[in-house]
């Protein structure tokens, strides 16, 4: 009877040790730090950047084209502060082409582990400063008594080509241009040094349709 009790006690201790060992192993696996690798080129090739925590504003010179999730679950987003189009991925996932998932012009701007409970301070969005488009007024013309006041042309962003410029949200004196005002759109292009409006598309601003995209072509010949 004593032997049976000793054997039962030994078996109980062995079972507890085994359970604790199994629990510790599971905890070790679940506590594995999250790791995500982004690659410069498709198919997990080229330069790579490894992330092990949340990054609200990725500052890398080249865009990412593929990714490999080494451990943990992650959220990948196309805008800063985990906004825009986002995708959830987990350990073992491989995305050979991020462009196919997010679109050709999209770019990964922020990533974070989904399990992370630590608050991440969102970066404050800097106010957009419009870029001045108007050509500088000569001093003699500006000092003339009867010189007409020229409106200041500006835009949120400019994409410059050799014979055309693309303007995002063109404005005169800080005000957006009405979508149907073709004359003002042409005046804007002239201020920017072009003769023709090749393309214009509108967006809604405070419920009002305004020109959001404007393509000016046919550069004005220098005198």
Domain interval for residue 171: 151-219
Tens digit of pLDDT for each residue in 153-174? 888 888 888 889 899 989 988 8
In-domain check, residue 215 = yes
Task: Indicate whether 84 belongs to any domain.
Answer: yes
145 located within any domain:
no
Residue 197 in any domain: the answer is yes
Query: Rounded to whole angstroms, how far apart are CA atoms 26 and 18?
Result: 12
Inside any domain, residue 203: yes
Q: 163 with 106, same domain? A: no
- Read off the CATH number of the domain in which 97 is found: 2.60.20.10
Please indicate, yes or no, if residue 14 is contained in any of the structural domains. no
Per residue in 2-48, pLDDT tens? 444 444 444 454 544 454 455 444 444 456 899 999 999 999 999 99
Confidence category of residue 191, pLDDT binned at 50, 70, 90:
confident
- Residue 113 has φ and ψ, to the nearest 5°, of -70, 135
Give the chain's domain count.
Answer: 2
């Amino acid at each position: 009877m004593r032997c049976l009790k000793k054997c039962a006690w030994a078996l109980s201790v062995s079972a507890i040790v085994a359970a604790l060992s199994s629990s510790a192993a599971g905890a070790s696996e679940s506590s594995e730090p999250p790791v995500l690798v982004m690659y410069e080129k498709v198919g997990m090739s080229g330069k790579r950047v490894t992330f092990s925590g949340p990054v609200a504003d990725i500052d890398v010179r080249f865009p990412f084209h593929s990714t490999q999730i080494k451990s943990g679950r992650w959220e990948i987003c196309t805008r800063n502060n985990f906004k825009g189009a986002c995708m959830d991925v987990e350990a073992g996932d491989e995305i050979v082409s991020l462009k196919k998932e997010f679109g050709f012009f999209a770019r990964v701007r922020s990533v974070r582990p989904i399990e992370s409970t630590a608050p991440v301070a969102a970066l404050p969005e800097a106010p957009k400063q419009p870029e001045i488009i108007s050509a500088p007024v000569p001093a003699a013309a500006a000092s003339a008594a009867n010189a007409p006041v020229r409106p200041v042309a500006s835009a949120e962003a400019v994409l410059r080509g050799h014979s055309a410029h693309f303007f995002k949200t063109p404005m005169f004196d800080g005000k957006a241009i009405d979508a149907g005002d073709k004359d003002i759109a042409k005046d804007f292009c002239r201020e920017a040094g072009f003769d023709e409006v090749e393309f214009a598309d509108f967006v809604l601003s405070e419920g009002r349709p305004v020109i959001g995209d404007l393509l000016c072509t046919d550069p004005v010949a220098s005198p």
